[in-house]
A and B are shown apart, each in its own frame.
Chain A
């Protein structure tokens, strides 16, 4: 199995306080055709990790460590070089499908943008490719002329997916792509992402706080707590045999559909003692 992305010793700190670690000593490896889920609460550093890979971090933040993508060290690349990778080799889907689409451009135009920028497609080839992409994500191709506000939340997220896979990236980063969606739509979008990952043999980094979603889509799981990785393992290992007290505590506050277990919120003071 080919290694797509390897992160080692990654730290993120604010520029004005280099001792405060927002992300601390992260190491992870993503392989072709595998879905890796990062789970954690708000503020655990999940999204920061994803943004660091993409080189989209705020200028107020300082990073060090290595991010190797397909054998190339990308953490020190300048913006211009990064732009060639972003959208072409690494695709990204954001949480909020409404705010991440431009409301004054048709969805067809927006899906076409990476195709023109990275592959130089235009005219009818471009049109055909946009139509093909829309079909692939389950939207009728004539919807290319619609504006984002004419689509439902699920459709918008499908458009985002079409845009992110347009250039057939080797790595797809999905930052809570289904959090804003209904449960039935969520199930459809998860299925679509899983199919696309298999068909295009991509590596997928999937960020979520929902263990139910993890159970459905993950091959490997990384649990983050306050900027650090506390546990990694296969889905089986982490969900059924969690080792770290934080993972156990986090699993204990997920309601189950059978209603069998008692909900237990996380007791942080206890956690600080044991961890």
Chain B
């Protein structure tokens, strides 16, 4: 088992390029190309959190989706645990998916309203055929209680929960498979500030317990400061700056990063 390869990098992307074709011109007969990712390379160290920040349209979410092979990309490679994900076949990729999970932004849209919470959380176990039915059920219950819900909540439907609780369900669904990498796409931006603090602390605790590595996508630079170890700043599909969180916040090298940091509300009065 090569849990960690040479430098302790669990997931890396090299020279990713992704272009979207958009209709343009009169009646949409013309097309134009939008480079959502332009030669993007990132590395996620094992057991750490890499934050990807940038404005809307900077390519953050596209990067997340390409890393997880949810979107095909034009060129470049994504290497997880020594395996080049784009090269392996469908079945092998499906095997790997249990190691690569995602927590979505909108806790209202990302849970199937017709499924019970227990079914939502347990579905991954069912698909990957992990354990007997009884074991799956037990694991689901454990995970639900671990994220701060009750075992009896498994019989309820998503609409019976608040936004923060739904995000806990989303986290339980991602973590029940004991993944190695979790991509969190703006997991707290739809939440109230007090609930946000709860979820951030939960994510941190779980990272230590389960030795998770996070890719954390956010536009809130205050949140990133608290959760991330490394940071990638993106603008218009390109990486502007990359480095340790402490260094980037203390001494941002690029004008764009300085601009982003100066826009954080509450800096004047603080």
B214 shortest CB reach to chain A, Å: 16
Instruction: Determine the distance from Cα of A212 to Cα of B201 in the docked complex, in whole angstroms.
Output: 20
Q: Is A68 engaged at the interface, CB distance under 8 Å to the other chain?
A: no
B191 shortest CB reach to chain A, Å: 9
With contact pairs A153-B56, A215-B270 given, residues A257 and B261 touching in the complex (Cβ less than 8 Å): yes
Residues of B within 8 Å of A104, CB to CB, are none
Instruction: Determine the distance from Cα of A186 to Cα of B226 in the docked complex, in whole angstroms.
Output: 21
Q: Is B245 engaged at the interface, CB distance under 8 Å to the other chain?
A: yes
Number of interface residues of A (CB under 8 A): 34
Instruction: Determine the distance from Cα of A185 to Cα of B259 in the docked complex, in whole angstroms.
Output: 11
B184 shortest CB reach to chain A, Å: 15
Q: Give A41's nearest chain B residue, CB to CB.
A: B192
B106 shortest CB reach to chain A, Å: 12
Residues of B within 8 Å of A183, CB to CB, are 55, 219-221, 260, 263-265
Residues B269 and A266 in contact, CB atoms below 8 Å apart: no
Residues of A within 8 Å of B163, CB to CB, are 42
Residues B265 and A253 in contact, CB atoms below 8 Å apart: no
Residues of B within 8 Å of A264, CB to CB, are 197
Q: Is A213 engaged at the interface, CB distance under 8 Å to the other chain?
A: yes
Instruction: Determine the distance from Cα of A185 to Cα of B219 in the docked complex, in whole angstroms.
Output: 11
Residues of A within 8 Å of B219, CB to CB, are 182-183
Q: Which of A254, A256, A258, A265 contacts B201 (CB 8 A)?
A: A265
Residues A257 and B55 in contact, CB atoms below 8 Å apart: no
Q: Is A118 engaged at the interface, CB distance under 8 Å to the other chain?
A: no
Interface flags for A208-221 (1: CB within 8 Å of B; 0: not) read: 01111111100000
Q: Is A89 engaged at the interface, CB distance under 8 Å to the other chain?
A: no
Q: Give B259's nearest chain A residue, CB to CB.
A: A184
Q: Which of B192, B223, B246 contacts A42 (CB 8 A)?
A: B192
Residues of B within 8 Å of A210, CB to CB, are 193, 265-266
Residues of A within 8 Å of B222, CB to CB, are 212, 254-257
Residues B260 and A259 in contact, CB atoms below 8 Å apart: no
Q: Is B267 engaged at the interface, CB distance under 8 Å to the other chain?
A: yes
Residues of A within 8 Å of B260, CB to CB, are 183-184
Q: Which of B196, B223, B263, B270 contacts A187 (CB 8 A)?
A: B263
Residues of B within 8 Å of A266, CB to CB, are 194, 197
Residues A257 and B267 in contact, CB atoms below 8 Å apart: yes
Q: Give A39's nearest chain B residue, CB to CB.
A: B193
Residues of A within 8 Å of B35, CB to CB, are none
Residues A250 and B194 in contact, CB atoms below 8 Å apart: yes
Instruction: Determine the distance from Cα of A263 to Cα of B202 in the docked complex, in whole angstroms.
Output: 11
Residues of B within 8 Å of A187, CB to CB, are 262-263, 265
Instruction: Determine the distance from Cα of A113 to Cα of B160 in the docked complex, in whole angstroms.
Output: 40
Residues A214 and B266 in contact, CB atoms below 8 Å apart: yes
With contact pairs A184-B260, A257-B249 given, residues A211 and B55 touching in the complex (Cβ less than 8 Å): no
With contact pairs A41-B192, A183-B221, A212-B222 given, residues A253 and B263 touching in the complex (Cβ less than 8 Å): no
Interface flags for A188-200 (1: CB within 8 Å of B; 0: not) read: 0010000000000
A37 shortest CB reach to chain B, Å: 12
Q: Is A239 engaged at the interface, CB distance under 8 Å to the other chain?
A: yes
Residues of B within 8 Å of A239, CB to CB, are 269
Instruction: Determine the distance from Cα of A210 to Cα of B197 in the docked complex, in whole angstroms.
Output: 13
Q: Is A24 engaged at the interface, CB distance under 8 Å to the other chain?
A: no
Q: Is B112 engaged at the interface, CB distance under 8 Å to the other chain?
A: no
Q: Is B97 engaged at the interface, CB distance under 8 Å to the other chain?
A: no
With contact pairs A215-B268, A265-B201 given, residues A184 and B226 touching in the complex (Cβ less than 8 Å): no
Residues of B within 8 Å of A235, CB to CB, are 269
A48 shortest CB reach to chain B, Å: 16
Q: Which of B56, B194, B249, B269 contacts A258 (CB 8 A)?
A: B249
With contact pairs A212-B264, A239-B269, A263-B200 given, residues A258 and B193 touching in the complex (Cβ less than 8 Å): no
Central interface residue in A210, A216, A254, A259, by most chain B CB within 10 Å: A259
Residues of B within 8 Å of A214, CB to CB, are 266
Residues B56 and A254 in contact, CB atoms below 8 Å apart: no
Residues of A within 8 Å of B192, CB to CB, are 41-42, 209
Residues A253 and B249 in contact, CB atoms below 8 Å apart: no
Residues of B within 8 Å of A215, CB to CB, are 265-270
With contact pairs A183-B260, A212-B264, A215-B265 given, residues A253 and B220 touching in the complex (Cβ less than 8 Å): no
Q: Give A254's nearest chain B residue, CB to CB.
A: B193
Residues of B within 8 Å of A255, CB to CB, are 196-197, 200, 220, 222-223, 225-226
Central interface residue in A42, A187, A257, A259, by most chain B CB within 10 Å: A257
Q: Is B198 engaged at the interface, CB distance under 8 Å to the other chain?
A: yes
Residues A257 and B268 in contact, CB atoms below 8 Å apart: no
Q: List 7 A-B contacts (CB under 8 A).
A: A41-B193, A183-B260, A187-B263, A253-B194, A254-B222, A256-B270, A265-B198
**7 more A-B residue pairs beyond the given contacts A215-B267, A259-B249, with a C-beta to C-beta distance below 8 A:** A184-B259, A210-B265, A253-B197, A253-B198, A255-B223, A257-B264, A265-B201
**Nearest 5 A-B pairs (CB), nearest first?**
A212-B266, A212-B265, A253-B197, A215-B269, A215-B266
